[in-house]
Amino acid sequence: MHLPHQVFVYGTLKSGEPNFHVMSETDGIYSSIGKGRTLHTYPLIIASPFNVPMVIFDRGNGHRIHGEVYQVNDVKLAELDKLECHPDDYRREIEQIELEDGTVINAWMYSVRDVKPEIFEGATAHIELYTSAGEHGRPYNASYTIGETNPEYEFKQWLKQLKH
């Protein structure tokens, strides 16, 4: 079984979170490596009317983000890209991740780039560990994924107006 890609997930794709089924039930193969956190700090916020967790690519601000690392094949990576609307909405880029045993690896991570400051209006403060049912009181609202094949579905519209 060849799983050439390592992917770091910090939001709804983690085990026990609302979109883990995309990892576990869609086409492709995956295997858990374990828990880790970003070597660098980034803002992780929950934003939009849909309470979507997102890392803003602004290295040096925020926290070291906690998440999970998976090995995936090309087919599974394509499924993840589809959910994250890579490269239009979220961009997949290599990030250094420190595993629980202290080992540092390179893994793909999805983040949002080139955003206007207004994206932070109404968003949570920067967090380091996301759970949909967290103390933030902003559970993920999956209704935005309905019709995601339509390039104009609501979350895309919301994010598009907040990008440069």
**First-to-final CA distance of the chain:** 41
Ramachandran angles phi, psi of 158, nearest 5°: -60, -50
Q: What amino acid occupies position 28?
A: G
User: What gap in Å lies between CA 105 and CA 61, rounded to an integer?
Assistant: 21
Which one is catalytic: 17, 68, 84, 95?
84
The verdict on whether omega for the bond into residue 87 sits within 30 degrees of 0, i.e. cis, is: yes
Distance CA(62)–CA(15), nearest Å, equals 23
Q: Is 84 a catalytic residue?
A: yes
DSSP class of residue 20 equals: H
C-alpha span between 72 and 23 (Å, rounded):
9
Catalytic annotation, residues: 84
